[in-house]
Structure 1
Amino acid sequence: MNLFQWLKPPKRAKAPDLTPDQRLRLSELPRPAALNAKSLRQQRWVVLDLETSGLNMSRDEVLSIGAVVIEDGAIDLAQQFERTLLRPDHKLNPSVLIHGLGPSAIAAGSEPVDALLDFMAFVGDSPLLAFHAPFDQHMIGRALKESLGYRLQHPFLDVAELAPLLFPKACLRQAGLDDWTAFFGLHAEERHHASADAMVTAELALILFSHARRQEMDSPIQLEQGLAKWRRRQQSHSF
């Protein structure tokens, strides 16, 4: 590389080609609310699960989105979201088959821009919960950036961290969703399916919220502060 090439500014990503209606919908999305001191019962939460084409956060893609809402201290079955983000011409691959997304699901898939706009309208200004949240946060954030030019700024809390924080005696420090659902006697109707995994994650979150209140962490901000202390303890124990 010569000096002039080195001095060249990096190429900007091409702005997504949105229709006027899509741009209007994008502009009307509410701004995310910061985590606050209201009670956990008063907070509306969106519980998210994604199915992806793999675990490479730079290369793999979101295949489907499943989400449910926790509101007034319960799962609101009237507020559920499910979309497959595959085009009809999307080639089948092993990961698609694992997630149960066969030809009929692909044929019914939503165009990514509209599906992601629908999802963010569903989320509104609410914080999100997910199991292994950093992965879901990165993947959905990347999809939103690439398809909409939208920067995801909603707070995420990780149920995989909340569980050992609130139940340290369970000795399931690096456990998966199956381990924690078995620990609490929960049952997922259909694993590796975004909507079913979002539902069982929401059930797990409600159990954790109940125990958080007993431990005087009865607000989103208190949960976040508790997680920050827990992470510092984990880091100190690893040295």
Structure 2
Amino acid sequence: MSLFSWLRKPKPGLDLAQQQRVEQLPPPRELGECSLRDQRWVVVDLETSGLNLNRDQVLSIGAVVIEDGAVDFSQLFERTLHRAETKLNPSVLIHGLGPSAIAAGCDPAQALMDFMEFVGDSPLLAFHAPFDQHMLGRALKDSLGYRLSHPFLDVADIAPLLCPEATIREAGLDDWIEYFKLQVGERHHASADALATAELMLILFSRARQQQLDSPLALQQRLSQWKRRKQAPSF
């Protein structure tokens, strides 16, 4: 036995049927040269117990699908996860997930399995995606032993990339909603925020096409170039 083997987390306690479902999840597709309209996108938003990347937990998952150039309301996802021992911080005052809602939630492994079957091989979009990507990836590893490797694009970067005339750098989702005068009925719970992000992304896809960025791969490449320029030291 390795000296440090006792430090490793045990594999998730999945039964045979659950393990088979994990093994049957399709591998993610790399972003390609099809049109933006032809690509199926999953827009996701998470509510968490806090903002600590290593300690806090996913409490709920909301997601909508963009396909054929529109939000497909027949493809919606929402789950609250049961977290028996999670201490809630003041963020519950924003997303409204109190102890009773979390106590009535789904088994985390089941909820996460359902979500990844919903995602399939599609790329993911989120506002401030690095946080959602990290938290979702850790939850999947802890509950399913699954490594998240889907393309995950950040709408918070795509918006200023495609709208350089906007003077709202480092803006939040509410700022972009106001900038484009979107009519959003609800905010600050996972499914409503995913829908608001999707509506924003439809406008951004239109902007991308106007700028001759009409494939997922072209958008990803332009975004990577833009981020590198932003991070380059100025002299």
TM-score interval for Structure 1 and Structure 2 normalised by the shorter chain? over 0.9
Gapped regions of structure 1 (runs ≥ 5): 1-6
Superimposed CA distance per residue, residues 23-51 of structure 1 (whole angstroms, 9 cap, x where no aligned partner): 11111111100000000000000000000
CA–CA separation in structure 2 for the residues paired with 1:103 and 1:226: 43
Which residue of the partner structure matches residue 189 of structure 2? 193
Q: Which string of whole-angstrom CA distances, capped at 9 and with x for unpartnered residues, describes residues 64-112 of structure 1?
A: 0000000011000000000001246756553334311135422430000
Amino acid at match of 2:126: A
Q: CA separation in 1, counterparts of 2:191 and 2:157? A: 21
One-letter amino acid matched to 2:230: Q
Q: Which residue of 1 aligns with 2:11?
A: 15
Question: What SS is found at the alignment partner of 1:94?
Answer: coil
Letter in 2 for 1:102: G
Tell me how far apart the structure 2 counterparts of residues 58 and 87 of structure 1 sit (CA, whole Å). 16
What SS does the corresponding residue of 2:60 show, helix, strand or coil? strand
d(CA) in 1 for partners of 2:27, 2:68: 22
Distance in 1 (alpha carbons) for counterparts of 2:147 and 2:86: 26
SS in 2 for 1:36: coil
The yes-or-no answer on 1:134 pairing with 2:135 is no
Separation of aligned partners in 2, 1:93 and 1:232: 35
CA distance in 1, matches of 2:84, 2:11: 24
Q: Which amino acid aligns with 1:129?
A: L
RMSD of equivalent CA atoms: 1.7
Residue 98 of structure 2: aligned partner: 102
Q: Equivalent residue for 1:221?
A: 217
Gaps of 5+ in 2: none
Secondary structure, aligned partner of 1:34: coil
**Residue 43 in structure 1 maps to residue 35 in structure 2:** no
The amino acid of 2:216's aligned partner reads: P
Name the residue aligned to 1:114.
110
Task: Render the CA deviation track for 1:126-181: whole Å, top value 9, x for unaligned.
Answer: 00000000000000000000111100000001100000000011021100000001
Structure 2 CA distance, aligned partners of 1:184 and 1:152? 32
Q: 3-state SS of the aligned residue for 1:199?
A: helix
- TM-score, length-scaled by structure 2: 0.94
Equivalent in the alignment of 2:231: 235
Aligned: 1:31 with 2:27: yes
Moved more, 55-64 or 187-196: 187-196
| Identity fraction in percent | 67
8 Å CA contact retained: 2:59, 2:102: no
| Deviation of 1:187 (Å) | 3.2
Aligned counterpart, 1:168: 164
CA 187–120 in structure 1, closer or farther in 2 if over 3 Å, else same:
same
Supply the distance in 2 between the matched residues of 1:76 and 1:184 (Cα, whole angstroms).
21
Residue identity matched to 1:36 = G
Superposition pairs for residues 66-85 of structure 1, below 5 Å? 66-85=62-81
Counterpart for residue 149 of structure 1:
145
Residue of 160, 173, 179 corresponding to 2:175: 179
- Structure 1 residues 229 and 61, CA, compared in 2 at 3 Å: closer, same or farther? same
